[in-house]
Amino acid sequence: MPDSIAFCPYRISPLGAHIDHQWGKINGMAIDKGIHIAYRRKENGVVELQSLNFPKRAQFHVQSIPDLKVGDWADHCRGAAKMLAEKYPLRYGLSGVIEGTLPIGGLSSSAAVIIAFTVKS
């Protein structure tokens, strides 16, 4: 049973992808589809994630996150945890299940994964 659930909506950027972080003007909007993560805090610092959209389970410790990409769907979560760990002492992990409500690709799906994961990390 999860302790909590987080949701981050997908975002539509009608003017084109990646304009927002390149100092361009955007007219982005959220939609009612997105990324859900149900999770439970782990005291030992281990992050265990299972995707309902992809077969491989991800596992890492918050104090020993790999420097290089693994090449799977969880690279976004590992990268977000690595950046947080550079600024803040991470002590807790989580056991979670993550699911996207639309097929992967477009709609800022990678950003939604990162935000849903870090909101509760």
Q: What is the pLDDT of residues 57-114, one digit of tens each?
A: 999 999 999 999 999 889 989 999 999 999 999 999 999 999 988 766 555 567 777 7
For 18-70, write each residue's pLDDT tens digit. Answer: 555 666 666 667 888 888 999 999 999 999 999 998 888 999 999 999 999 99
Domain-wise residue ranges, the chain: 4-119
Residue among 12, 22, 4 nearest 109 (CA): 12
State the number of CA atoms in the 13 A half-sphere of 58 facing the CB.
Answer: 30
Strands 4-12 and 29-42: antiparallel
- Options 3.40.1190.20, 3.30.230.10, 3.40.50.720, 3.90.79.10; CATH of 4-119: 3.30.230.10
Q: Which amino acid is at 64?
A: S
**Strand, coil or helix: 57:** coil
**108 burial via Cβ count (<10 Å: 0-12, 13-18, 19+):** buried
